[in-house]
Structure formats: C-alpha cells, structure tokens
C-alpha cells in the first residue's frame, strides 16, 4: 500500500518536474526568440535608416549645387553634415564583423567635414568658389551611385526576406553555405567607394502643396447634422437615394470633429467612404477602394475628367500642377488659380481610375481650410529677368510661373516659381517676387528604376 | 469572262497582300496610341516617345517608360524647335512629327527593357550618324527622312492613301529648328555620356519615399491590420507617416516602424509576413496624402491593448478594431 502511494507520488513528482522543465524550456525558447527578433529589428532599422540617409544626402547635395542663395546654402551644408553623421552612426549599429563598410564611413566622414567647413564660414563675405562647387557636384554624383547600389541591396533584403541574424549566426558557426548576398553586395560597394576617396579632399522634404497646413486649424461654418452630412456626401459622389448609408460621428466635442459617411451601392462590394466636416459640412476627403481594371484611358483624359468633376462641384479656376500614374490610377494635384497666379495653399488632390475615368479619391482639407474665394495677390516688385539673375549660373530656367506659397506657417508670399535643370537634374526654385531672395528650393523627383 | 475573272481574282489577291503589308507596317510605325501623353504617364507610349526623342538627340536619359522631367524638357525643346506650341503635351501633331523624323526600333528597345539590368546605348548606335547638335538641324538632310519618304511613297501607291500627303508637302516649309532651347551641352559630358541610352524600366514613386519604404510600410500595415476595412489599413499607414513627420518620433519610415515597442507586429515578427496587394494600395493612398485619422499618431486595439496610458488618451475615431486617439 505504502509502496503504491510512494510510486504514485513519485510519478506525480516526475510528471510535475517534466512539465516544469517543458514549461521552462518553452519560456527560454520564447525569450530567445523575442531577443532574436529585437536584435534583428534593430539591425533592420539601422540598415534601412542608412538607406534613407543616403537618399537624403544625395538630395541635399543636389540642392547645394542648384542654389545660389547663401540663405539656403548654409542650412543645406548643415543638413549634409548632419545626415553624413547620422549615416555613420547607422553603419556603427550594423553587425560590424559582417559589414565591410569602413570605406563608406571614411567617405561619409569626408563629406561631413567638407560641408561642415563651408557651412560654418561666413558665406556672405566668402561665397562658394568655383572649385568648391565642382567638388560638391562630384560628391553629389558619387553619393548618387552609392545610394543606387545600397538601394539594390535593400530591395534584395526586402524581397528575399534576408535576416541579419541568420547571416550572423551562420558566420558564428562558420557555415560555408551561408547566404553571401548581403556580404558580397556590401563588399563591392565598399570597393567602389575606395575610388572616390583617393580623388577626394581638396531632407528634408520641402512640401509646398498639401500636408503643410495645420490639420487642427478650425474649419469654419455652421454645424451640420448627421443627415445633412450624409446628403452632402451623396451629392458630392452624385449618388442617388438608393445607396446604403451609414454615418459615424468622429471626435465628439473636438474642434476637428467630422462625420465618416459610408455609401454602399447594392452592386458594390466595398463602400465609398466620405469624411464630412461637422462645421460647414465640407467634404474633407473621399476614398473608393473598388478594384480597378486594366487602364483604358490616358493620364490626359483622366485629368480632364478630374477637372470637370471639380468644376461641377463649384471648384472652378483650378490649375493642374502635377500628375502621376501609378499602375491603373492617375493622381493629380490642382491648385486654385487667380489671375494666372497659382495659390499653392489652396490645393486639392484627386485620384482617377484609369479603367473608366471615375474619381476614386479626393483630398481637400487644405482647400477647405484656406479657400475663401479671394486672395490678395500683391504686384511683383522685381521682374522675371531680375529674379533669374539671382540664380546660380549653372541653373537653366525652362519654365516659370507666378505663385503664392506658404514660406513659414501663416506667411504667404508671392514668388516666381522657376523650374529648370542642372545637367540631368530638375529643380524648382521659388524666388521672392518682392526682394529677389530664394525662398525655397526643391529637387524634383525622378522615376525609380526597377531592380 | 474567264480572263476577267482571273484578273479580278488576282487583283483581289494582291490587294489582300498589300492590306496585310500595310496592317503590319502600320503597327510598326504608328504604334503610338490615340491618347495624349503627358508628364507623369507610364507605359508603352512613353517608351516609344523616349526612344524617338533620344534617337533625334533630344533626350539623354534612360528609356524607362516613365514620363519624368527630363522627358518633359525634351518634348518642350522638340516643340520649340519645330514651331509647335510649347506645352509639354504629346498630341497628334507632335506624334506625327516624331514618326516622320525619327526612328523607333521597337524590338531592340523592348529586348533591352526585358533584360532590365543590361543598359546599352540606343540613340548613338541606332540614330542617324554625323548629325549636327540639336538646334542647328535641317530636318531635310536626315537619312530617316529619306527612308520615311520611301515608305510613304510605297504606301500611297498601294493604298491610295492621301492622309499623309499634306504632311509630306508641308514638311519642307516647316520652320527649320532654331537654336536656343535645345538640350544644353554640359561641361560634364563624360558623365552624360554614361547616361546616354540606358534602357531600363522604372516606376513612379511619390516624392520623399522609395519603393523600399513602400514595401516596408506594406509589411507593417499587413502585419498590424490585415482583415481590417480598407480605410482602417490606410489609417495605419497614415499613422506611420504622421509619426515620421512628428518631432516626437524618428524621422524615417524604418525608424518609426522598428522603434522598440511601437508596433506589435514588429515585436512578434508578424511584420515579415508577405503583404497583399490591398495593404500596398493602402500605403500608396496614405503616402499620396489620404489620412483618415486627420494627423493622429496613436491607435490601439481596445480588446488586446495592455499599455494603461493609451486608455487615458482622447478617442477620435474608430475604424474596425482599432481606436485612433489623440
């Protein structure tokens, strides 16, 4: 009897011990996994940040060779120095035993030192020399190539789901079969940079259209009810009474409260969502997530449809300033135009499906906030020729407009908008039409090669 | 009667062959679609446009099928030189001029596009040799023109087509290209030389972002919000962007996504699941400026959230399972 009790107790203890061990083992495994994921995440972050830095570096170096204004050159130099420094720190966070990036670090340090020196001196009394400009231009070209190469590796990392931890562990186990893609790619980049250094030694995004304004700024107008909001949404979409309508009230009691109206036609799978402001019942944005078939119309025709759509909703005198095709969708930026002057703060963006030309997206927050029907446009005090004279002599102006832009929050200035090129790069420079100073410079985006 | 019949048959037959030839021919030379091509467009029309402009020395960039700024300036220069309205739009008149004066080797270009990473020269190899620089050109001297005329003669004879006749007669009277707006010759011609004639496909990417940013964001959105309503997915992507733009968070997409303890999908590794097309489209909408949250930087799932401080935030909007807070 006793022996039986002892046997049972013994089994019980054994089972408990086993379960305990299993649990402990599982916990350990989980902990290890979680640590591995964390380590992997920080490597990934450092690597992707490095890619961002290289893109920004290229952008800022590009701007620095296009500007002729000391006011813009000094911050440009400071930015480059900062980005180069940040890129070095990101390289420092990568598993160094695997990344032969020493040459790139040296290159970055040199770029940083060089631009720091220029940025810190008084550019009023000591402007950029011809030789320095050439040097910056060379650095720009090199950073561009470097960026391209790094981006290729980045794409590979993302598309193949490469993990730094795998590489590191394989290296630790001296596994001969390990994936060499990362290492080989980086080694070749580093070699490339070696060439730059020997010949050496001697971003921020400026968005001028939407997204710049304060989104919490009060929208004016008398409050509308849920029902009125739904009517406004239906009217905007041109839908009849038959669509299934749902209204949700957002942000009760806030200045920015709005209604989300969901409109679903019987034959449609997904609803169209329209956000309507509580104050004034303005259409803030609209998105239709329906599937889009093969393109049947071109970007030009789509733009005309968008223009017509806006006109029918009382938005006349809108000038298309930008158009882009993404697969089967056309995205267009329109700004209000008064007497031929583009009023950039009053912008809307629309999406047109290229299968049938219907509007599938509208974003009008900036227009709702800033448009009140009339803008005080001052007369330019300098001529276009005078504005051009102030520019870098390497910058060839190809197109010009008169535009009102927001240079600082709440401050809108009349500027000459000058589009032009240096070599194969296109820039947009805004020159104050009163004082002739460069207010803003923007390097226009280029298509991204498919790797 | 028999004789007549035979003759008739023969003529039908030859007419058929001619038509066949013309159809083939028409496809080869009049490949441009009827659409007006404008800046930002992508696709086959743009590839042909770039190849033709490059063939005539107006375009020095990569033939990539994306109507970007360099293509735009090339079109405007061409319009200027040929006395057309300078608006950067490629309409019928411009297409006709391009077809008349330039050469497009479809097979060659497309074979290189498919290879993708084998950049080769197109313009200099296939283009007319010994051309004066753009701006001092006399369209009448070009080999192509001669070629073209031969082709047109053939076509007129066979088809009795008069449609192109006026074009041809007008041609000599055209204003000779003037100087001035031609693509600028740069001191760094060495660098430009390398860029000439690259044939490699590309895509439009919204300013300030890269294809890899989009990929990474699609991963995050899929990991965090797959199965949520579409607007909810756009909202997650918008939160990432709002964080990038906020002073309280890292300044890059990767910085925001990989910030420790920021997103559960990152912490538990779900971010590495293969995202679907919907999450990618949501990311594109958010990047293009659609923000269902109206500028918010925080959200949580009330059913699973563990951080107490989230509950103290002011709720603004609920989409699907997620509560977006200020």
Higher pLDDT, A69 or B185: A69
User: Chain-centre distance of CA B94, in angstroms?
Assistant: 18
Asked if B102 has any chain A CB less than 8 Å from its own CB, the reply is no
Q: Based on the number of CB atoms within 10 Å of its own CB, is A385 exposed (0-12), middle (13-18) or buried (19 or more)?
A: exposed
Q: Which of A375, A380, A328, A376 is nearest to A347 (CA)?
A: A375
Measured distance CA(A155)–CA(A181) in Å, rounded: 12
Residues 224-263 of B with CB under 8 A from A: 230-231, 234, 245, 250, 252-255, 257-260
- To test the contact with chain B by mutation, choose from A135, A257, A424, A425 the residue with the greatest count of B C-beta atoms within 10 A, namely A424
Do B202 and A448 count as a contact with CB atoms less than 8 A apart? yes
Q: What is the pLDDT along chain B (326 residues), one digit of tens a residue?
A: 455 555 555 555 555 555 444 444 444 455 789 899 999 999 999 999 999 999 888 998 889 999 999 999 999 999 999 999 999 999 999 999 999 888 888 888 888 877 654 444 454 433 444 454 454 444 444 444 444 444 544 444 333 333 333 333 333 333 334 443 444 433 333 333 333 356 788 889 998 899 999 999 999 999 999 999 999 999 999 999 999 888 778 888 998 998 877 888 888 888 889 999 999 999 999 999 999 998 889 899 988 877 666 777 788 889 999 999 88
Do A298 and B39 count as a contact with CB atoms less than 8 A apart? no
Across chain A, which distance is largest between two alpha carbons, in Å?
A: 112
| Position A38 pLDDT exceeds 70 | yes
User: Which range among A78-92, A265-279, B117-131, B219-233 has the greatest average pLDDT?
Assistant: B219-233
Least Cα separation, residue B315 to chain A (angstroms):
7
For A284, B311, B326, the CA distances from A256, given in Å and listed in that order, are 11, 20, 11
Q: What is the pLDDT of residues A313-363, one digit of tens each?
A: 999 999 999 999 999 999 999 999 999 999 999 999 999 999 999 999 999
The percent of chain B in helix, strand and coil, each rounded to the nearest 5, is: 50, 5, 40
Q: Which chain A residues touch B260 with a CB distance below 8 Å?
A: 38, 41-42
Mean pLDDT across A226-254: 87
Do A299 and B37 count as a contact with CB atoms less than 8 A apart? yes
Q: Which of B59, B78, B70 is nearest to A426 (CA)?
A: B70
The predicted structure's pLDDT at residue A265: 87
**CB B229 within 8 Å of CB B92:** no
**CB A245 within 8 Å of CB A227:** no
Q: Tokens 């304004």 belong to which residue?
A: A213
Q: Which of B3, B30, B2 is nearest to B92 (CA)?
A: B30
Residue A274: how many other CB atoms lie within 10 Å: 26
Measured distance CA(A87)–CA(B252) in Å, rounded: 12
The predicted structure's pLDDT at residue B4: 53
Q: Tokens 């995440």 belong to which residue?
A: A41
β pairing state of A396-408 and A341-353:
parallel
Q: Tokens 């070599």 belong to which residue?
A: A423
Residues 6 or more apart whose CB falls under 8 angstroms from that of A356 comprise A293, A296, A297
**Which three-class secondary structure string do you get for chain B?**
CHHHHHHHHHHHHHHHHHHHHHHHHHHHHCCCCCCCECCCCECHHHHHHHHHHHHCCCCCCCECCECCHHHHHHHHHHHHHCCCCCCCCECHHHHHHHHHHCCCCHHHHHHHHHHCCCCCCCHHHHCCCCCCCCCCCCHHHCHHHHHHHHHHHHHHHHHCCCCCHHHHHHHHHCCCCCCCCCCCCCCCHHHHHHHCCCECCEECCCCCCCHHHHHHHHHHHHHHHCCCCHHHHHHHHHHHHHHHHCCCCCCCHHHHHCCCCCCHHHHCCHHHCCCCHHHHHHHHHHHCCCCCCCCCCEEECCCCCCCHHHHCCCEEEEECCEEEEC
Residues 6 or more apart whose CB falls under 8 angstroms from that of A327 comprise A292, A295
Query: What band does A207 get if pLDDT is binned at 50, 70 and 90?
Result: very low
| Position A221 pLDDT exceeds 90 | no
Coil, helix or strand at residue A353: strand
The predicted structure's pLDDT at residue A3: 81
So what's the ipTM on this one? 0.74
Q: Which of A254, A276, A283, A213 is nearest to B325 (CA)?
A: A254
Least Cα separation, residue A216 to chain B (angstroms):
8
Residues 40-99 of B with CB under 8 A from A: 40-43, 45, 60-62, 64, 66, 68-70, 73, 76, 89
Least Cα separation, residue B293 to chain A (angstroms):
10
Measured distance CA(B181)–CA(B76) in Å, rounded: 8
Please give the class, per CATH, of domain B31-195.
mainly alpha
The predicted structure's pLDDT at residue A388: 92
The predicted structure's pLDDT at residue A271: 92
Coil, helix or strand at residue A279: strand
Asked if A351 has any chain B CB less than 8 Å from its own CB, the reply is yes
- Chain B residue with CA closest to A285: the answer is B290
**Burial annotation A428-440 (CB, 10 A radius, 16+ → b, else e):** bbbbbbeebebbb
Three-point CA angle A281, A282, A288, nearest 5°? 110
Residue A354: how many other CB atoms lie within 10 Å: 25
**CB B303 within 8 Å of CB B320:** no
Phi, psi torsion values for A330, nearest 5 degrees? -105, 130
Q: What is the pLDDT of residues A96-106, one digit of tens each?
A: 555 567 678 77
Residue A206: both structure tokens together: 């400026």
- Chain B residue with CA closest to A214: the answer is B295
| Position A135 pLDDT exceeds 60 | yes
Do B184 and A396 count as a contact with CB atoms less than 8 A apart? yes
- To test the contact with chain A by mutation, choose from B258, B263, B320 the residue with the greatest count of A C-beta atoms within 10 A, namely B258
Do B260 and A331 count as a contact with CB atoms less than 8 A apart? no
Query: What end-to-end distance do the CA atoms of chain B give, in Å?
Result: 93
Measured distance CA(B63)–CA(B83) in Å, rounded: 25
Q: In this complex, how many residue pairs, one in chain A and one in chain B, have their CB atoms less than 8 Å apart? A: 205
Measured distance CA(A8)–CA(B173) in Å, rounded: 111
Phi, psi torsion values for B101, nearest 5 degrees? -105, -15
Residues A386, A391, A394, A395, CA torsion sign: negative
Measured distance CA(B201)–CA(B65) in Å, rounded: 6
Q: Which of A290, A124, A206, A354 is nearest to B208 (CA)?
A: A206
Q: Tokens 């509560």 belong to which residue?
A: B323
Measured distance CA(B64)–CA(A347) in Å, rounded: 30
Residues A238, A241, A243, A247, CA torsion sign: positive
Q: What is the pLDDT of residues A358-402, one digit of tens each?
A: 999 999 999 998 998 888 999 999 999 999 988 888 899 999 999
Residues 6 or more apart whose CB falls under 8 angstroms from that of A40 comprise A163, A164, A165
Q: Which of B60, B197, B132, B76 is nearest to A423 (CA)?
A: B60
Measured distance CA(B150)–CA(A232) in Å, rounded: 62
Do A154 and B212 count as a contact with CB atoms less than 8 A apart? yes
Q: Tokens 């005539």 belong to which residue?
A: B56
Residue A222: both structure tokens together: 């008398």
Least Cα separation, residue B31 to chain A (angstroms):
15
Do B203 and A447 count as a contact with CB atoms less than 8 A apart? yes
Q: What are the domain boundaries of chain B?
A: 31-195, 211-325
Q: Which residues pair with A326 in a beta bridge?
A: A329
Q: Which chain A residues touch B45 with a CB distance below 8 Å?
A: 298
Measured distance CA(B85)–CA(A110) in Å, rounded: 48
Asked if A398 has any chain B CB less than 8 Å from its own CB, the reply is yes
Q: Which chain B residues touch A139 with a CB distance below 8 Å?
A: none
Fold classification of B211-325 is Arc Repressor Mutant, subunit A (1.10.10)
The predicted structure's pLDDT at residue A68: 79
Mean pLDDT across A302-319: 95
Higher pLDDT, A92 or A435: A435
Domains in chain A: ranges and CATH: 2-199 (no CATH), 226-370 (3.30.310), 384-443 (3.10.450)
Query: What does chain B come to in residues?
Result: 326
Higher pLDDT, B150 or A38: A38
């Amino acid at each position: 009897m006793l022996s039986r009790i002892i046997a049972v107790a013994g089994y019980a203890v054994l089972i408990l011990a086993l379960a305990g061990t299993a649990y402990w083992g599982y916990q350990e495994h989980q902990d290890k996994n979680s640590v591995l994921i964390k380590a992997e995440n920080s490597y990934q972050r450092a690597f992707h940040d490095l890619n961002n830095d290289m893109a920004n570096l290229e952008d800022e170096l590009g701007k620095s060779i296009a500007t002729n204004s000391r006011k813009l050159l000094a911050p440009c130099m400071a930015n480059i120095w900062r980005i180069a420094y940040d890129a070095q720190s990101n390289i420092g966070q990568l598993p160094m035993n695997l990344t032969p990036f020493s040459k790139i670090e040296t290159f970055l340090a040199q770029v940083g030192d060089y631009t720091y020196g220029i940025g810190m001196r008084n550019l009023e009394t000591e402007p950029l020399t011809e030789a320095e400009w050439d040097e910056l231009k060379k650095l720009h070209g090199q950073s561009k190539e470097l960026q391209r190469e790094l981006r290729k590796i980045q794409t590979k990392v993302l598309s193949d789901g490469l993990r730094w931890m795998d590489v590191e562990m394989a290296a630790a186990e001296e596994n001969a079969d390990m994936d060499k893609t990362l290492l080989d790619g980086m080694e070749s980049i580093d070699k490339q940079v070696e060439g730059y250094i020997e010949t050496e030694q001697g971003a921020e995004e400026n968005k001028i259209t939407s997204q710049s304004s304060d989104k919490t700024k009060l929208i004016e107008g008398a409050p509308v009810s849920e029902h009125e909001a739904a009517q406004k949404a239906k009217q905007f979409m041109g839908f009849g009474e038959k669509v299934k309508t749902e209204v949700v009230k957002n942000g009760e009691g806030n200045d920015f409260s709005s209604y989300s109206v969901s409109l679903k036609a019987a034959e449609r799978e997904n609803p169209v969502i329209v956000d309507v402001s509580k104050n004034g019942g303005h259409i803030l944005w609209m998105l239709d997530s329906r599937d889009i078939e093969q393109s049947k119309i071109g970007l030009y025709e789509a733009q005309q449809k968008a223009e017509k759509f806006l006109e029918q909703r009382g938005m006349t005198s809108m000038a298309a300033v930008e158009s882009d095709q993404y697969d089967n969708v056309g995205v267009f930026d329109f700004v209000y135009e008064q007497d031929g002057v583009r009023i950039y703060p009053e912008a809307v963006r629309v999406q047109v499906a290229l299968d049938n030309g219907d509007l599938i997206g509208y974003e009008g927050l900036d227009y709702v906030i800033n448009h009140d029907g009339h803008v005080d446009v001052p007369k330019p005090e300098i001529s276009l020729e005078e504005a051009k004279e102030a520019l870098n002599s390497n910058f060839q102006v190809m197109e010009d407009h008169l535009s009102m832009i927001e240079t600082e929050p709440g401050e809108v200035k009349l500027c000459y908008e000058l589009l032009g090129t240096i070599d194969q790069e296109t820039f947009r420079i805004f020159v104050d039409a009163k004082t002739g100073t460069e207010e803003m410079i923007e390097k226009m985006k280029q298509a991204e090669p498919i790797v | 009667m028999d004789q007549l019949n035979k003759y008739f048959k023969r003529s039908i037959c030859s007419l058929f062959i001619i038509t066949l030839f013309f159809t083939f021919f028409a496809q080869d030379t009049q490949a441009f679609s009827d659409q007006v091509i404008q800046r930002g467009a992508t696709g086959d029309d743009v590839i042909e446009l770039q190849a033709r402009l490059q063939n005539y020395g107006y375009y020095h960039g990569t033939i990539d099928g994306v109507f970007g700024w360099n293509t735009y300036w090339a079109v405007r220069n061409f319009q200027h030189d040929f006395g057309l309205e300078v608006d950067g739009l490629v309409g019928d008149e411009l297409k006709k001029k391009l077809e008349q004066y330039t050469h497009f080797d479809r097979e060659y270009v497309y074979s290189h596009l498919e290879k993708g990473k084998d950049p080769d020269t197109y313009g200099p190899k296939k283009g007319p040799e010994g051309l004066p620089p753009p701006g001092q050109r006399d369209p009448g001297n070009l080999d192509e023109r001669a070629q073209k005329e031969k082709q047109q003669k053939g076509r007129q004879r066979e088809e009795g087509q008069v449609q192109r006749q006026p074009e041809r007669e007008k041609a000599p009277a055209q204003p000779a290209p003037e100087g001035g707006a031609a693509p600028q010759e740069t001191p760094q011609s060495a660098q430009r030389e390398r860029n000439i004639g690259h044939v490699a496909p590309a895509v439009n990417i919204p300013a300030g972002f890269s294809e890899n940013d989009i990929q990474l964001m699609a991963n995050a959105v899929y990991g965090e919000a797959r199965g949520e309503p579409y607007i909810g997915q756009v909202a997650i992507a918008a939160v990432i962007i709002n964080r990038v733009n906020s002073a309280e968070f890292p300044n890059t997409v990767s910085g925001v996504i990989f910030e420790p303890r920021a997103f559960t999908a990152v912490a538990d590794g779900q971010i590495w699941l293969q995202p679907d097309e919907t999450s990618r489209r949501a990311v594109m909408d958010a990047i293009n400026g659609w923000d269902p949250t109206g500028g918010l930087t925080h959200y949580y799932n009330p059913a699973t959230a563990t951080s107490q401080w989230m509950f103290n935030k002011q709720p603004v909007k609920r989409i699907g399972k997620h509560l977006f807070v200020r």
